[in-house]
């Protein structure tokens, strides 16, 4: 199904002819409220990066010896050339740039081999999540290969991830109290990710020209925040599976109410695809319920319970290969009985696979910040947990197993019990609770600005998306003036990963007038 909404004019890609950037804060206007604070006040600075001398950086900021932008040398993977950029940015943009603590934000620049010194427009990629780093390409393939045909691609490690002063399950233990950690984490949502992007753009792009952005999933949420508060930094916007709900004080409840409906449908499709797993999952639930402590110890020190088992749906039900991956895990859940009379046991293979499934040990920000991405001026109050209680008759694993019904997996939802059962999350339970109760979240979107948007936007909307609900997307889309939608059931939420070249090519064709308007 193809739907085109509100056509946009064909635009031409401007040519970039210089790689010398001279900026003065006395003449630059504010990109959006609070962002001017990251420019040094009452003084100018000059950043000169020579493409002829790859990786050399000369920064002269009066009175400061530490550069806010360092460029490293080019290196290669097959058919691509890459180089790293590190930026020293304020943790809190609302504070004076001299007094705010600083963090590092990492970005990797990518071009096709031989194009290192060519003047090309820039494309910034915003990763899904929240709390996940940008891709690490090992060769030219997928959407990156397609984008490098006409763009200089920037892969951003969003603040707190990858090489951007990462917030890991070990580094966050440095905070002395849950409140200190929660107060720190409030600076890691889309609003500050966008401010980081603007900080980078004016230092990296010649003449501080606007750039194209590509937002996947949560990265698409960030793109709509960008359109709301810094549209002057954008030339065009591509979104894949990432149009957020907007316009209410707190939309988390709406998200999860719609989300549970889609999760039930995905469960139905899964068990229709693999009917033999119905009995396997029931047996696992009964085994866990009869175990001491209502669960089985995990290798890291956590515990696998029936609710934890159900959480496998987070990754297993929503991506193109998720059904198969989940089925193959369940195939090896039990140890073989080698000695007659030996007790039945869940295999070490399955327990290790379960822990590797979610990546909470390496990317705990996902669990800590997930519900906050829907909050504006109100608390989430553990929205998914509260909404689950309304449909618990369908998601009660032990009741379903006892009555011979299908045990339903849950979807992209974070529950408070995870901070008791998952070892990597246990130290952060109190901080997570503080974030769930926080009420004064700042706005993430400006509906009035979106209603008068002038930036060309093209978005891929996946009809059967378990992570970004189709109904809610279609409520938001008309509020972004000029947006063009490509609605398809050919791909799932992982469309950019599965068919990146085709998806990006289609969106660029839409936004540049190569596709029909209707």
In angstroms, the CA 64 to CA 62 distance is 6
Same-domain status, 172 and 272: no
The answer to whether 360 and 422 have CB atoms below 8 angstroms apart is yes
By annotation, the residues acting in catalysis are 217, 440, 493
Q: Which structural domain range is residue 272 located in?
A: 251-437
Considering the domain architecture, whether residues 360 and 457 belong to the same structural domain is answered as: no
Look at phi and psi of residue 461 and say left if phi exceeds 0, alpha if psi is from -120 to 50, else beta: beta
Which pLDDT score, from 0 to 100, does residue 293 have?
A: 85
In a domain, 53, yes or no: no
Shared-domain flag, residues 232 and 255: no
Q: In terms of domains, do 257 and 361 share one?
A: yes
Q: Do the Cβ atoms of 137 and 144 come closer than 8 Å?
A: yes
Residues 6+ positions from 161 with CB-CB distance below 8 Å: 127, 129, 131, 132, 133, 134, 167, 363, 365
Token pair 């060519």 is found at 118
- The last residue of one of the domains, among 437, 452, 483, is 437
116 near 19, Cβ under 8 Å? no
Distance CA 156, CA 501 (A): 20
Q: Is there a domain that residue 473 lies in?
A: yes
Q: Report the DSSP pairing between strands 483-488 and 69-71.
A: unpaired
User: Is 449 domain-assigned?
Assistant: yes
* Residue 18 burial by Cβ neighbours in a 10 Å radius (0-12, 13-18, 19+): exposed
Are both 431 and 404 inside the same structural domain?
yes
Tokens of 102: 């600083």
Q: Is 277 found in the same domain as 132?
A: no
Beta strands in 363-490 (DSSP E): 457-462, 483-488
Q: Which of 388, 405, 437 is the last residue of a domain?
A: 437
Same domain, 274 and 387: yes
State the residue for tokens 């690490």.
Answer: 136
Close Cβ partners of 176 (under 8 Å, ≥ 6 residues apart): none
What is the bridge-based pairing of β-strands 152-157 and 122-126? Answer: parallel
Residue 357, SS3? helix
Question: Do 426 and 449 belong together in one domain?
Answer: no
* Residue 1 belongs to a domain: no
Residue 320 burial (CB count, 10 A): 14
pTM value?
A: 0.87
Same domain, yes or no, for 424 and 499?
Answer: no
Question: Tokens 């109904």 correspond to what residue?
Answer: 471
In a domain, 518, yes or no: no
| CATH classification at residue 195 | 3.40.50.1820
Same domain, 395 and 449: no
| 61 found inside a domain | no
Rounded average pLDDT per 10-residue block, the chain, 518 residues: 36 32 32 36 29 32 66 98 98 92 98 97 97 97 97 98 97 98 98 98 98 98 98 98 86 92 96 98 97 92 96 94 97 97 96 92 95 95 95 94 96 96 97 97 96 98 95 96 96 96 96 74
Query: Residue 48: inside a domain, yes or no?
Result: no
The residue with tokens 């002269």 is 60
Do 308 and 227 fall within a single domain? no
Q: Are residues 412 and 284 in the same domain?
A: yes
Q: Token pair of 298, please? A: 């995990």
pLDDT at 65: 56
Q: Among 389, 413, 437, which residue terminates a domain?
A: 437
Kindly provide the b/e burial profile for residues 486-512, where b requires at least 16 CB atoms within 10 angstroms of the residue's own CB.
Answer: bbbeebbbbbbbbbbbbbbbbbbebbb
Give a yes or no: residue 32 inside a domain.
no
Does residue 483 sit in helix, strand or coil?
Answer: strand
CA distance 237 to 251: 24
- What residues have CB less than 8 Å from 331, skipping those under 6 apart? none
The total domain count for the chain is: 2
CA–CA gap between residue 126 and residue 155 (Å, rounded)? 7
């Amino acid at each position: 199904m193809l739907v085109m909404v509100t056509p946009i004019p064909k635009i031409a890609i401007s040519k970039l002819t210089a790689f010398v950037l001279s900026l003065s804060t006395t003449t630059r206007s504010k990109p959006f409220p609070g962002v001017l604070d990251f420019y040094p006040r009452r003084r100018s600075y000059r950043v000169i990066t020579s493409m002829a001398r790859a990786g050399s950086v000369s920064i002269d900021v009066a009175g400061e010896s530490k550069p806010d932008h360092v460029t490293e040398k080019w290196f290669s993977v097959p058919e691509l050339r890459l180089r790293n950029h590190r930026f020293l940015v304020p943790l809190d943009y609302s504070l004076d740039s001299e007094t705010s603590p600083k963090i590092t934000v990492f970005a990797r620049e990518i071009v096709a081999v031989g194009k290192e010194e060519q003047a090309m427009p820039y494309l910034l990629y915003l990763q899904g999540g929240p709390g996940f780093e940008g891709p690490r390409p090992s060769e030219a393939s997928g959407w990156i290969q397609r984008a490098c045909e006409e763009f200089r691609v920037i892969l951003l490690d969003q603040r707190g991830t990858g090489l951007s002063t990462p917030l890991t399950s070990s580094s966050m233990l440095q905070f002395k109290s849950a409140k200190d950690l929660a107060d720190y984490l409030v600076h890691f949502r889309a609003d500050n990710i966008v401010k980081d992007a603007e900080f980078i753009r004016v230092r990296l792009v010649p003449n501080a020209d606007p750039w194209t952005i590509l937002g996947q999933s949560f990265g698409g949420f960030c793109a709509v925040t960008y359109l709301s508060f810094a549209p002057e930094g954008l030339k065009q916007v591509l979104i894949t599976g990432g149009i957020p709900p907007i316009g209410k004080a707190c939309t988390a409840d709406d998200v999860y109410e719609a989300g549970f409906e889609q999760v039930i449908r995905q469960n139905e499709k899964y068990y229709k695809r693999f009917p033999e797993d119905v009995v396997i999952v029931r047996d696992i639930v009964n085994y866990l319920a009869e175990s001491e402590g209502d669960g089985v110890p995990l290798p890291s020190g956590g515990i696998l319970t029936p609710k934890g088992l159900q959480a496998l749906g987070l990754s297993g039900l929503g991506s193109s290969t998720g059904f198969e991956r989940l089925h193959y895990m369940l195939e090896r859940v039990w140890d073989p009985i080698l000695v007659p009379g030996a007790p039945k046991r869940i295999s070490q293979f399955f327990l290790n696979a379960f822990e590797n499934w979610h990546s909470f040990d390496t990317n705990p920000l996902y669990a800590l910040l997930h519900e906050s991405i829907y909050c504006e001026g109100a608390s989430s109050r553990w929205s998914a947990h509260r909404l689950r209680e309304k449909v618990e008759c369908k998601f009660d694993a032990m009741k379903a197993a006892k009555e011979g019904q299908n045990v339903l997996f849950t979807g992209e939802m974070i529950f408070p019990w995870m901070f008791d059962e998952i070892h990597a999350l246990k130290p952060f339970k109190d901080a997570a609770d503080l974030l769930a109760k926080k009420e004064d979240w700042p706005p993430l979107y400006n509906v009035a600005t979106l209603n008068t948007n002038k930036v060309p936007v093209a978005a891929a909307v996946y009809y059967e998306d378990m992570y970004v609900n189709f109904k809610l997307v279609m409520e938001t889309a008309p509020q972004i003036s000029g947006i063009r939608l490509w609605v398809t059931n050919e791909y799932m939420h992982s469309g950019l990963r599965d068919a990146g070249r085709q998806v990006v090519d289609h969106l660029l064709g839409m936004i540049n007038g190569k596709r029909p308007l209707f």
